[in-house]
Amino acid sequence: MLYYKFQNYEEFKNMFGIIRHGNGVCSRKNKILLAYVKDKRLLHEAVEKNDYALLHISSMAELKKTVTRRIIISGHSDNSLRYVLELDGDFFYSRNLETDDLKGLCEDGDTKAIRYINHENGEKVFKMKAGKLYRSIIQETEFGRTLPEQVVTYLCEEFSADWQVYTQSRLPKNTLHIDKDFEKIYSSDCCKGDFSSCMTDKDYYYFYMDSVNASAAYLTDEDDMVIARCIIYNEVKDQDGNKWRLAERQYASDENDILKRALIDALIKGGYIDGYKKSVQVQVMQESSLTLRRIHCQTGNSE
């Protein structure tokens, strides 16, 4: 049964009528919205609270906006949902999940997933596909549990798309360089922010020019300032005599881990390296395989 006020049948057809497509297939307008306003639980709640606002939504955009706000309010009013997830400017609530200072942005630049802390699992950091995490958030709220499945699926799909646009807009617009300009990557005049490097402005870069087969790898922003850098050793030998192109430890503006990861990802995608050093470990990409293994190598005393 439909609990919705219409002036006449024509108004109903304009909103929920059948559309016949050129290939003969028929579909109903605003099918998800229709499933929502027909929901018996929604009517029951409206009668109990004498609040029929949710029954008078007239567009999908209004459905998304109104229902999302009700999910947030429902979560905020539930004292058992004590942790906050700040996602794209909105604050959602959960029993065990929480965002950290990165506000859901993944360190590896994954635009389709959300980074979060799980307090039920030793406060470890994980990431999850945006739509899957959003479904979990919805189902934790009293209001969210009353929503029809079609509406929940729609909201998760919309959130996933919005999250990807948001994360892509937050990623730095940068340019990758592979050259021999070692002076530039160790100059405070060319680097943006603090790289926490003891070699900055010390003129030690001649070592890479004169003593080893190496290349400077770095990202620059729109102002041509260096925001992440590392050294690529082009002929690193392991214990078996195999040669590798190894990216040494990465440095970035204000020690930004996302920028470091963005540099490594750009080098991998461009085919410029066979492996990279992170802390004391060396990770090597075996040709087309994604399998990683550790190798022992010697590159000299440098950053």
**Which CATH number goes with the domain that contains 180?**
3.40.630
Q: Which letter does DSSP use for residue 191 in this model?
A: B
Kind and range of the H or E element at 233?
A: strand 226-237
Q: What is the pLDDT of residue 213?
A: 92
Buried b (16+ CB within 10 A) or exposed e, 3-18: ebeeeeeeeeeebbee
- Asked, for residue 231, whether it belongs to a domain, the answer is yes
Residue 101 resides in a domain = no
Range of the domain at 283: 175-293
167 within domain boundaries: no
Tell me the CA distances in angstroms from 257 to 84, 107, 184, 262, one per residue in order: 23, 6, 21, 9
Domain count, the chain: 1
Identify the segments of the chain with pLDDT beneath 50: 1-3, 280, 285-303
Is residue 170 in some structural domain? no
In a domain, 94, yes or no: no
Inside any domain, residue 190: yes
Report the C-alpha gap between 162 and 90 in whole angstroms. 12
Q: Which residues contact 147 (CB under 8 A, 6 or more apart)?
A: 36, 39, 67, 138, 155
The per-residue pLDDT for 11 is 66
- The per-residue pLDDT for 298 is 37
In a domain, 277, yes or no: yes
Residue 120 CA to residue 113 CA, distance in Å, equals 20
In this prediction, residue 2 carries a pLDDT of 47
Give which of 59, 190, 78 is closest to 142, Cα–Cα.
Answer: 78
Check: CB of residue 243 under 8 Å from CB of residue 260: no
Whether 162 maps to a domain, the answer reads no
